[in-house]
Structure 1
Amino acid sequence: MPRKKHNFRKKLFTKNRLVILNEDTFEEIFSFKLNLMNVFVVLSLGGIFLILITTFIIAFTPLREFIPGYSSSELKKNALELAIKSDSLTTLIKKNEVYIKSIQKVLNGELEYSKFNKDSILAESEEIPETNMNASEEEMKLREEVDKIEKQSSGSKANKKK
């Protein structure tokens, strides 16, 4: 077994000459001194380079749109626009429903016409999201830590300037 490894290693590093000849005149056009290890390294690097170039071409050009799973930027843009339009249409429909219900109340006599105002009805229909603007205990602790760090860093900068 060690003998075979030695023979393989020897074959890898044995110098060979690659000669290109003109077939009619047997004139030598050019020649190379190579070994199998050089050929293996050059072919491996060439393969890696080819894979990298192909990956970059697919990743950074419009060709990626032909790969299943990737959507085009135009399709994403259209989907976003449609989502925004559908959201605004939903709010518009809600406002119109509230307005129609208010008109029905006036027609049924449940509400006086003098109190009926389109702006006030639409203002009632708007949903005001509830937000908690009070800082939590964790946030207060973080603010205190940041203030301490800023005071320390500004104090050290003042000392360096002196």
Structure 2
Amino acid sequence: MSKTSRRRKIIANLRNKHRFVLINDTTFAEVFSVRLTPINVLMVFSSLLLAFTAIVLLLLAYTPLRGIVPNAVTKESRKEIMQLNQRIEDLSRTLEVQRSKQGVLNAILEGKDAQFDSISARPK
């Protein structure tokens, strides 16, 4: 079977109409009836899935349920993280300056010729 004939057969099967009927068991009366194609059923299920996903995402984004999501960062914690990061940067600069000064002092105590740049050693 060639590819085109397989595709035509699949498309023809997707366009076939089927009847969905709900019947009352005791009276055999038809309660509900609708004609469907597999394409329509697929579209309805995909639309429902898309709507459900959108609702869940909106609930997680704009309600207190966002706390359920791991690694969710609030405004307060983000501000605290930024302050801590700034403090870490300041401390690392201070540590670098102290290590530089310590290296110069060690060189002076050992009697070596040490070049010390006092301008670059200042904390910013």
**Shared topology, TM-score over 0.5?**
yes
Match of 1:3 among 2, 5, 13: 5
Which residue of structure 1 lines up, in the alignment, with residue 30 of structure 2? 28
For residues 50 and 36 of structure 1, the distance between their equivalents in structure 2, rounded to whole angstroms, comes to: 21
Calculate the TM-score normalised by the size of structure 1.
0.44
The 5 Å alignment of 1:142-161 reads none
Question: How far, CA to CA, are the matches of 1:59 and 1:44 in structure 2?
Answer: 22
Q: 2:72 aligns with which of 46, 70, 73?
A: 70
Sequence identity percentage: 30
Structure 2, unmatched stretches of 5+, are 88-124
Match of 1:37 among 28, 39, 51: 39
- Encode CA deviations 1:65-91: one digit per residue, 9 max, x unaligned: 1211113456567x49xx6xxx9xxxx
Note the 1:1-162 alignment, pairs <5 A: 1=2, 2-72=4-74, 79=80
Aligned Cα RMSD in Å?
Answer: 2.2
Higher relative contact order (CA 8 A, sep 6+): 2
SS in 2 for 1:68: coil
| Higher share in helix | 1
Counterpart CA distance in 1 for 2:5 and 2:78 is 63
Secondary structure at the counterpart of residue 17 of structure 1: strand
How many Å separate the matches in 2 of 1:14 and 1:59?
A: 41
User: What is the CA–CA distance in structure 2 between the aligned matches of 1:76 and 1:6, rounded to whole Å?
Assistant: 56
Count matched residues.
81
Question: Which moves more between the two structures, 65-74 or 6-15?
Answer: 65-74
Q: For residue 3 of structure 1, report the CA deviation from its aligned partner.
A: 2.2
Counterpart of 2:20 in structure 1: which amino acid?
A: L
For structure 1, the residue ranges without an aligned partner over 5 or more in a row are 88-162
Report which of the two structures shows the higher radius of gyration computed on alpha carbons: 1
